[in-house]
Each structure stands twice: as structure tokens, then as C-alpha cells.
């Protein structure tokens, strides 16, 4: 049996895996999990697969991976023949990618949490979540602005890596949680650059390219 992805269509974390596999041109079997309203991820059958009760889960033969960032790294190691997406032969790039993978967790905990609050009624301190999201987005904006001065369109350099894939969904989906992109022009350019990658696939809630403002007019 080939790759299996336990998935929920509205999960930004699951979308990271779907998007990366699409960019790599990989075939896989999608196993849909009724996250909401069914709560299938917390039921016994699924907990036997992933005791943490989180999505996504990737199964490849005897291997089961339950962390999104780990899934991205594994797929890059196994299937990226260009060594572009996770260049482990470059210690500087590897260190920077790992740093942005950790940053992606902050986006999930802030912008992602605000989205769960607004879309699914999840109980949390929404003001704190939005404040934390804007703090993270300001850091991302500053970095991408500096990258733009250097002529680089992506987080690490002139080509995308798994760092970009890890940070993209909950940045793009931030308006679902009441966090708009208006004050972040460098982020908007970066979002468009990712959307233009060959093999890019849509997700509900991420606006189409022609609905997004391109600061360069392209």
C-alpha cells in the first residue's frame, strides 16, 4: 500500500501535507476524518492510530507520523530528488528551516486558534490569540521585507523550502480568525509567490490569486 493521509479538508495543518505532496507530484490515499462536528479524531478507532488525537497522520508502510512538520521533513527526505525543499547538506539552510518550522507552531497556536474560535466556536481567549498572531506576523513581515531587499521571494532564499509550506496555511487563513493582511505587504507578496508554484492546490478559505492584491501589479 502507498502513502495514506488521514485528513480533514478544513484543517490548515492537514493542508500543509496535501499541498506539499501536490507540489512533489505524489499520489496518496486520503482517509477523511470527521473532525467537526463528528469529533472522530477523539474516538477509539482513530486514537489507536494516533493517541494524541491530532491531524494529519501520514502512514507509509510500517511508518506512522503524527506531526505535521515531521511529515514535511520525511516527505522531503524521501521524495525530493532535487534536495531543494530540505537541503540537509547545507547546515545553515537546515538550521534556518528548523527555526521556521518552530515558528509555524506559533502561527498554529495563535492565528490557527483564532480561526478555530471564529469558525468552529472553540473556547479560548480570542484577544490573546489575535494579539499573538499579529506579533508573529510582524516578525514574518520584517523577515520577508529583508528577504525582498536581497531579491529573495521565500523564507530561506530564492527557492521555496518546507519552511514556506509550514508557515503558509495559517498565515493565508488568518482572516478566518479576524486577522487581516492589510498591514503586511511583504506577506501578501509571499503568499502570491507560493500560490504561483507549479502544482499548487486550493484550500477552502484561502482566497484565489485574482482576489489578492499583488503589490508589483503582476
Angle between helix 68-79 and 12-24 (nearest 10): 10
CATH 1.20.1050.10 location in the chain: 91-211
Lowest average pLDDT, out of 9-18, 77-86, 110-119, 198-207, goes to 198-207
Residue extent(s) of CATH 3.40.30.10 domains in the chain: 4-79
pLDDT at 187: 96
Cα-based distances in Å from 7 to 58, 85, 191, 204: 9, 22, 23, 14
pLDDT for 149-169, tens place per residue? 999 999 999 999 999 999 999
Instruction: Enter the pTM of the model.
Output: 0.90
Q: What does CATH list as the number for 91-211? A: 1.20.1050.10
pLDDT digits (tens, 9 = 90+) for 108-135: 999 999 998 988 788 899 999 999 999 9
Topology (CATH) of 4-79: Glutaredoxin (3.40.30)
Amino acid at each position: 500500500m502507498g502513502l495514506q493521509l488521514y485528513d480533514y479538508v478544513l484543517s490548515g495543518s492537514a493542508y500543509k501535507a496535501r499541498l506539499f505532496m501536490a507540489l512533489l507530484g505524489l499520489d496518496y490515499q486520503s482517509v477523511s476524518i470527521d473532525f467537526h462536528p463528528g469529533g472522530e479524531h477523539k474516538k477509539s478507532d482513530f486514537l489507536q492510530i494516533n493517541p494524541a488525537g491530532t491531524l494529519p497522520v501520514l502512514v507509509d508502510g510500517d511508518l506512522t507520523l503524527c506531526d505535521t512538520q515531521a511529515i514535511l521533513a520525511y516527505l522531503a527526505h524521501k521524495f525530493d530528488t532535487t534536495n531543494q525543499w530540505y537541503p540537509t547538506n547545507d547546515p545553515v539552510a537546515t538550521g534556518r528551516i528548523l527555526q521556521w518550522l518552530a515558528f509555524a507552531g506559533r502561527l498554529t497556536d495563535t492565528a490557527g486558534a483564532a480561526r478555530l474560535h471564529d469558525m468552529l466556536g472553540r473556547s479560548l481567549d480570542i484577544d490573546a490569540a489575535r494579539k499573538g498572531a499579529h506579533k508573529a506576523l510582524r516578525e514574518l513581515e520584517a523577515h520577508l521585507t529583508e528577504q525582498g531587499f536581497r531579491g529573495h521571494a521565500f523564507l530561506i532564499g530564492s527557492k521555496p523550502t518546507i519552511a514556506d509550506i509550514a508557515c503558509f496555511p495559517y498565515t493565508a487563513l488568518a482572516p478566518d480568525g479576524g486577522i487581516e493582511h492589510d498591514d503586511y505587504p511583504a506577506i501578501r507578496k509571499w503568499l502570491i509567490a507560493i500560490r504561483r508554484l507549479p502544482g499548487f492546490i486550493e484550500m477552502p478559505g484561502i482566497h484565489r490569486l485574482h482576489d489578492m492584491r499583488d503589490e508589483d501589479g503582476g
